Amino acid sequence: MTKNLSEKIISSHLIEGQMDPGEQIGLSIDHTLTQDSTGTLAYLEFESMGVSKVKTKLSLSFVDHNMLQNDFRNADDHKYLQAVAAKYGIVFSRPGNGICHQLYLERFAKPGFTLLGSDSHTPTAGGMGMISIGTGGLDVAAAMAGEAFFLEMPAIMGVKLTGHLSPFVSAKDVILSILKKLSVKGGVNKVLEYFGQGVETLSVPERGTITNMGTETGATTSIFPSDDVTKAFLKSQEREKDWLELKSDNNASYSELIELNLLEIEPQLALPHSPDKVELVKDFDGTPIDQVCIGSCTNSSLRDLKLIANLLRGKKVNDHVSLTISPGSRQVLENLASSGDLLDIIKAGARVIENGCGPCIGIGQAPTTDAISLRTFNRNFKGRSGTQSAKIYLVSPETAVASAINGKITDPRKLGSYPNISSSEKIIINDNMFIFPHKNSLNKEIIRGPNIQPLPNFPPLPEILLGEVLLKTGDNISTDDILPGGSQIMSLRSNIPEISKFVFQYVDSSFPKRALDKGGGFIIGGENYGQGSSREHAALAPKYLGVKAIIAKSFARIHLANLVNFGILPLNFVDKQDYNRIKQGDFLNIDIKSVKDVVSLTNISKKEMIQVAFRLSNREKDMIKVGGKLAAIQAKQANY
């Protein structure tokens, strides 16, 4: 039987289940990655599983998100992460080394492998022919303990690329065009698998830009074949031995097919406040801007930054624009420095900031009030930049530079001749900022600062859920809405009682107090509830405040899994119109005694009954019965 590429890798890692879309499958995981802001919790969870050393082929812990070190909290977290890595045999990437996805692609990604990461942009490694999936920290901790990763078998959507990109049009414009077609929920429970002649015209970093931002369609992951372009990239990283040719069989089938002629793509931009509000740059040409930020795991490769340097050479950043550049890795920075490209960037007036996530998650560089900020990032949710009134547009590096020079949104095709950037030339490789585990460091003592608080324990859910609707939201509520980023709040990621005070901070700041005062209750959501990041804190903190169930029209994949892991029931309206029959303040009763697929919800305030679907696998039902995934794994490990 012919197989597409995704099916080939999935079948070679299948531990449980059938590869029929919608069925639960269990996959074996080769590599895991965590980053600091999800990692602290993931490692607290891992520690409580009683395993002496990670059981994966390779596990990595990166510090890239919150590195401001405003006070002791942040620095203590880094110390804790380093100590855990040494003790359990995990590679540690030191603060300042770069962004996890960029570093992983450069130094560790391997065609044909599986990767599970506690960050939603883990699919970046799909640019290297991997099945790489973002999920909550608890799932990653379980994979480190040798457990299979369970998920719904995704449908495999084929994306056929033909032609080649025109000058000043790049990978970001490709993925923005796809987002325009699919929207922020069009990829849910799907893999976007790229194939066709156009693939060979894209370098690995460009493929990484596309697979990275496939996350914004809600997709489980995205994948490119591993071909001669992949081989050349691996060779430039002195890792040619990791190469393996991988592609789908001839005549392999896909559940859906979309086609894109790269030649027809023009520069695109996503308007505030959603990555799928995509339009053509030329239609906004001339709009004055205040800030340009280049970087993030989407667009911070050596290819991107060399291009930026070339375009900035001999030019000056507009007097009314602040241009920041955050390189994706120390390798990128070192190579820019040695080739002289960094000088072009500095001379033009760009502000070079630390290799890391930085402004992408509201850590520094918040725009001015009402500002228009152009960013090469992947998310532009309201307030994520740190300024509620700012308007963030997502653009390619080419559009970002052209606009920074002109002080207004500018179609980059106006810039003249397009520099030719090779991504496979000889580069400097330096792994000094990775600390590789050593047998002498295993079992060393773990240092914990006062901000590292133990995980709260939750009892199993009662059979009757009673309480008030604490909040009713609209569609596409993101995890940034549920629990915002920014350095202040993110430095509380290892302290659930403290971070829970910020739940729905900018949606309704009275939420935490009301939830506690009422002894918990329910949330009503629209479509795609919980889109965006993998932060399990967006489930764990509401759980701490007593949220028992979320009743929504639909859920985003990672958040749904996080809710189940921590024992908050995700319930779907059977008839989506019923969303209109519940309002904030209504008192509800949900009887889950006989865990059937459909249960009745009684709206006591309105004396009405509504049908809600309880779509959980038997494994998930068992997990909830014993008090969540952690309790289930602890019980299993204790029996070994």
Q: Provide the binding-site residues for ligand SF4, judged by CB under 6 A.
A: 65, 99, 119, 121, 296-297, 357, 360-361, 377-378
Choose the one of ligand SF4, ligand MIC, none that binds residue 99, judging by a C-beta under 5 to 8 angstroms depending on kind. ligand SF4
With CB under 6 A as the contact rule, which of the stretches 1-9, 273-281, 437-445, 526-534 interacts with ligand MIC?
526-534
Choose the one of ligand MIC, ligand SF4, none that binds residue 38, judging by a C-beta under 5 to 8 angstroms depending on kind. ligand MIC
What is the closest distance, in whole angstroms, from the C-beta atom of residue 192 to ligand SF4 in the complex?
18
372 contacts 284 by C-beta, under 8 angstroms:
no
Nearest residue to ligand MIC, scored by beta-carbon proximity? 533
Closest CA to 561 of 138, 14, 270: 138
Radius of gyration of the chain (CA): 24
Choose the one of ligand MIC, ligand SF4, none that binds residue 207, judging by a C-beta under 5 to 8 angstroms depending on kind. none
Site mask, ligand MIC, residues 55-74, x = CB under 6 A?
----------x---------
Task: State the catalytic residue, choosing from 30, 31, 59, 65.
Answer: 65
Provide the edge-to-edge strand list for the sheet that holds 131-134: 131-134, 114-117, 31-35, 58-62, 91-93, 434-435
Task: State the catalytic residue, choosing from 36, 64, 77, 276.
Answer: 64
**For this structure, is 575 an active site residue?**
no
Beta bridge partners of 351: 324
**For this structure, is 594 an active site residue?**
no
> DSSP characters for 456-517?
PP-PPPPSEEEEEEEEE--SS-BHHHHS--SHHHHTTTT-HHHHGGGTTTTT-TTHHHHHHH
What is the closest distance, in whole angstroms, from the C-beta atom of residue 218 to ligand MIC in the complex?
13
Task: State the catalytic residue, choosing from 385, 533, 534, 554.
Answer: 533
- Under rule CB under 6 A, residue 298 binds ligand MIC: no
What is the closest distance, in whole angstroms, from the C-beta atom of residue 31 to ligand SF4 in the complex?
17
Residue 273, preceding peptide bond in cis (omega within 30° of 0): yes
- Say how far apart CA 7 and CA 255 lie, in whole Å: 12
Choose the one of ligand SF4, ligand MIC, none that binds residue 59, judging by a C-beta under 5 to 8 angstroms depending on kind. none
- Under rule CB under 6 A, residue 121 binds ligand MIC: yes
Find the binding residues for ligand MIC in span 469-498 (CB under 6 A): 485
- Say how far apart CA 388 and CA 505 lie, in whole Å: 12
- Say how far apart CA 61 and CA 54 lie, in whole Å: 12
For 154, 198, 276, 356, the CA distances from 160, given in Å and listed in that order, are 18, 8, 20, 33
- Under rule CB under 6 A, residue 534 binds ligand MIC: yes
Phi and psi at residue 535, in whole multiples of 5°? -55, 115
Q: Which is nearer to ligand SF4, 119 or 536 (CB)?
A: 119
- Under rule CB under 6 A, residue 119 binds ligand MIC: yes
What is the closest distance, in whole angstroms, from the C-beta atom of residue 326 to ligand SF4 in the complex?
8
Q: Which is nearer to ligand MIC, 165 or 176 (CB)?
A: 176
395 contacts 373 by C-beta, under 8 angstroms:
no
Find the binding residues for ligand MIC in span 225-244 (CB under 6 A): none
Helices (H) and strands (E) counted in the chain, each on its own, are 20, 27
Q: Which is nearer to ligand SF4, 128 or 297 (CB)?
A: 297
373 contacts 292 by C-beta, under 8 angstroms:
yes
Choose the one of ligand MIC, ligand SF4, none that binds residue 158, judging by a C-beta under 5 to 8 angstroms depending on kind. none
**For this structure, is 290 an active site residue?**
no
Site mask, ligand MIC, residues 346-365, x = CB under 6 A?
---------------x----
Sequence-distant (≥ 6) Cβ neighbours of residue 320 within 8 angstroms: 288, 290, 407
What is the closest distance, in whole angstroms, from the C-beta atom of residue 449 to ligand SF4 in the complex?
23
- Under rule CB under 6 A, residue 533 binds ligand MIC: yes
> Residue 539, CB half-sphere, CA atoms under 13 Å: how many?
34
Among 185, 207, 535, 548, binds ligand MIC (CB under 6 A): 535
Choose the one of ligand SF4, ligand MIC, none that binds residue 37, judging by a C-beta under 5 to 8 angstroms depending on kind. ligand MIC
Closest CA to 233 of 136, 323, 102: 102
Task: State the catalytic residue, choosing from 30, 76, 119, 304.
Answer: 119
- Say how far apart CA 501 and CA 19 lie, in whole Å: 42
Beta bridge partners of 133: 116
Provide the edge-to-edge strand list for the sheet that holds 256-261: 221-223, 190-195, 155-162, 256-261
Residue 587: how many other CB atoms lie within 10 Å: 16
- Say how far apart CA 85 and CA 67 lie, in whole Å: 18
**For this structure, is 36 an active site residue?**
no
Among 102, 120, 274, 329, binds ligand MIC (CB under 6 A): 120
**For this structure, is 533 an active site residue?**
yes
Choose the one of ligand SF4, ligand MIC, none that binds residue 342, judging by a C-beta under 5 to 8 angstroms depending on kind. none
**For this structure, is 517 an active site residue?**
no
Strands 91-93 and 31-35: unpaired
- Under rule CB under 6 A, residue 190 binds ligand MIC: no
What is the closest distance, in whole angstroms, from the C-beta atom of residue 315 to ligand SF4 in the complex?
26
What is the closest distance, in whole angstroms, from the C-beta atom of residue 121 to ligand SF4 in the complex?
5
List residues near ligand MIC by CB under 6 A: 37-38, 65, 119-121, 361, 485, 532-535
Q: Which residues are catalytic, by number?
A: 64-65, 119, 379, 533, 535
